[in-house]
Amino acid sequence: MTSTSVITLRQVRKNYGALEVLKGINLEAREGEVISLIGSSGSGKSTLLRCINLLETCHDGVIEFCGEPVRWQGSGVTRQPADKAQVIRMRTQLSMVFQQFNLWAHMTILGNVIEAPVTVLGRDRNAAVEEALALLDKVGIADKAEAYPAQLSGGQQQRAAIARALAMKPKALLFDEPTSALDPELEQEVVKVIQQLAAEGRTMVLVTHDMKLAHDVSSHVIFLNQGVVEEEGPPDAVFGSPKTDRLRQFLHATSPAVAGA
């Protein structure tokens, strides 16, 4: 495995008013790595993910993408990315998959998948359609290309959203609790797709409540607690022999089966 760093965060901090939600987070995702962020609700893991693709602005710290640091203007709570073009360029190389799928409701599934490649990247429409159909086939919903999002089940919508993310040919994929809005049976069809992507060696950052998924696909697991990295390491170490009390309690409360393994 090569060790080119795709995403690097150093001492990232963010406040919501007086509340400090991220208290100096370090994270590195090298090419081909799958980083899982686990932790209870409110631990800051989704906020951290959203800071990576600049949907939220962190107030201090460094974000590097393929070695290129985000340029900022201002400081503290007024800090903003300085270069809009840079933000857009980074976002096109970091595809996000959302908890609530967020497929664009007025477009067909095919329309959703080709939208950003054609509009943002300016790719040829016919080529984009061809690639999109192949991706929909890969996630198992080739027959739904002409359907609208509202006509699909949650699991199908999330798989379509993953196809949309892949269509950008991103350097890394960001997953924000991709299975949390799904019934257990629908969850599995999405889990399979994520496992397949991990096996292909894609770089991913995954926020999840599904400890089994985190255990199975991750190369590195980060346990966040109240805005700090409480514990991190390879999945076998984190899930098999947790060192901190907080992590032990958390694992016991969420998935006793995995914690015992």
Partner 1 sequence: MFEFCVEPSQLQGLTWLSCYLTTGKHMAFYTSFGTVLLLLALTAPTALLFGFCGAVASRSAIAPLRWIGRTYVAMVRGVPDIVFFLFVPIALDQGFEYIRHMALCPEVTEPIRRGNDFVVCTAAKLPLNADPQWMHETYGFLLAVLSFAIVFGAFAGNTLRGAFEAVPKAQIETAQAYGMTSRQLFWRILLPQMWIYALPGLSNLWAILTKATPLLFLLGVEDIVYWARELGSMKTSAFSYPHPNWQLWYFLGLLVFYLLLTWVSDRAFARLMARFNLGQGRTGSDTAAAGVGR
Contact 39, 8 (CB under 8 A): no
Rounded to whole angstroms, what are the CA distances from 258 to 108, 185, 186, 241, 248? 39, 19, 21, 11, 11
DSSP letter for 149, please.
G
Cβ distance to partner 1 smaller for residue 150 or 257: 150
d(CA 189, CA 119): 29
237 alpha-carbon distance from chain centroid: 22
- Residue 92 or 219: the one with the smaller Cβ distance to partner 1 is 92
Least gap, CB of 70 to partner 1 (angstroms)? 15
* CB closer to partner 1 out of 91 and 159: 91
Distances (CA, A) of 229 to 80, 127, 171, 189, 224: 24, 43, 25, 30, 5
Distance of alpha carbon 125 from alpha carbon 129, whole angstroms: 6
Shortest Cβ distance from residue 201 to partner 1 (Å)? 23
Point out which residues bind partner 1 (CB under 8 A).
53, 55, 84, 88-89, 91-92, 95-96, 98, 100, 102, 104-108, 115-116, 119-121, 148-151, 164, 168
CB of 138 to partner 1, least distance (A): 19
For residues 123 and 127, what is the distance between their CA atoms, to the nearest angstrom?
7
Query: Which residue's CB is nearer to partner 1, number 99 or number 249?
Result: 99
Q: Letter for the amino acid at 249?
A: Q
As measured in angstroms, the least distance from the Cβ of 230 to partner 1 is 28
Map tokens 């509202």 to a residue: 150
Least distance from partner 1 to the Cβ atom of residue 75, Å: 23
Which residue, 92 or 226, has its beta carbon nearer to partner 1?
Answer: 92
Shortest distance in whole angstroms from residue 8 CB to partner 1: 20
Nearer to partner 1, 93 or 254 (CB): 93
